Amino acid sequence: MVRVKQRYILFSILYPVPPNGSVSSPIPQSMAFHQPSPTALTRTSLATIIRHSIAHNFGDLGMGQAGGFAVKYFSQATSTGILRITRENFRILWAALTFVRELYGQPAVIKVVRVSGTIRKAEKEALKLAEDTIRRVKNEHKAMGGSKSGRGIAAIFAAGKSGGKVPQKATVEDEDEDEEMIVDIVDSENDDDDDD
């Protein structure tokens, strides 16, 4: 029996325009496009939006080929996620992600960060991406004359927390200094079948 080979697509959602009604706060330049996703955007609603994009751009043939994807992970706080699809059809899914221009009335761009053969490599890349973002924001905050405590930076990342979810703690240590910054990473849903 032949095993079905899968591809895992790590993506990030960028928001070029601040959300309506947002308070003008001193957000670092490196975080201008990396806003938390709306609370209405869940794994199931994201899958529906992507399926609509596949149907609109590739028709019934595209839905037959790439309609069987799965959203394995999505975080509203970091606006990143992982999709699983068969190896032969990942390019259709990638193109459908590229064609999405709006999420719940807010302009958005879905950027594919990495395509991997295992979910473990995609998860490692997602963690590396989050750590790099935190480090970049910290350095920019220090360059702007911010405090060393990191509390203002933690507030930026905590803005995407949704009520009722259990946060997971992630610590990032700065290589130059001994201080640690703790950031809440909220998983939209726990998924027990990640070993596929």
CATH number assigned to the domain comprising residue 17? 3.30.70.3250
The whole-angstrom separation of Cα 120 and Cα 171 is 19
> What domain range is 117 assigned to?
6-185
Instruction: Read off the pLDDT of each residue in 31-37 and give the average, rounded to a whole number.
Output: 78
Task: With cut-offs at 50, 70 and 90, classify the pLDDT of residue 20.
Answer: low
Query: Looking at the domain assignment, is residue 190 inside a domain?
Result: no
List all residues 6 or more positions away from 173 whose beta carbon is below 8 Å from its beta carbon: 179, 180
- At residue 162, does pLDDT exceed 60? no
CA nearest to 86, candidates 159, 145, 4 = 4
Q: What is the pLDDT of residue 34?
A: 78
DSSP type of residue 19? P
CA-to-CA dists, residue 3 to 6, 86, 87, angstroms:
9, 11, 11
Query: Token digits for 136?
Result: 């970049």
Task: With cut-offs at 50, 70 and 90, classify the pLDDT of residue 174.
Answer: very low
Query: Looking at the domain assignment, is residue 40 inside a domain?
Result: yes
In the chain, pLDDT over 90 holds for what percent of residues? 44
Domain count, the chain: 1
User: What 3-state class would DSSP assign to 61?
Assistant: helix
- At residue 27, does pLDDT exceed 80? no
29-56 core/surface letters (b: 16 or more CB in 10 A; e: else): ebbebbbbbbeebbbeebbebbbebbee
* Residue 11 · residue 74 · CB < 8 Å: no
Task: Identify which has the larger pLDDT, 134 or 5.
Answer: 5
The whole-angstrom separation of Cα 138 and Cα 135 is 5
Mean pLDDT of the chain: 77
CA-to-CA dists, residue 17 to 7, 100, 141, 153, 195, angstroms:
31, 15, 21, 20, 37
Q: What angle do CA 121, 123, 127 make, to 5 degrees?
A: 115
Task: Identify which has the larger pLDDT, 102 or 140.
Answer: 102
Query: Looking at the domain assignment, is residue 191 inside a domain?
Result: no
Query: Looking at the domain assignment, is residue 192 inside a domain?
Result: no
Query: Looking at the domain assignment, is residue 16 inside a domain?
Result: yes
Query: Looking at the domain assignment, is residue 1 inside a domain?
Result: no
Query: Looking at the domain assignment, is residue 45 inside a domain?
Result: yes
- At residue 36, does pLDDT exceed 60? yes
Task: With cut-offs at 50, 70 and 90, classify the pLDDT of residue 189.
Answer: very low
Task: With cut-offs at 50, 70 and 90, classify the pLDDT of residue 28.
Answer: low
Per-residue pLDDT reduced to its tens digit, 49-80? 999 999 999 999 999 998 889 999 999 888 89
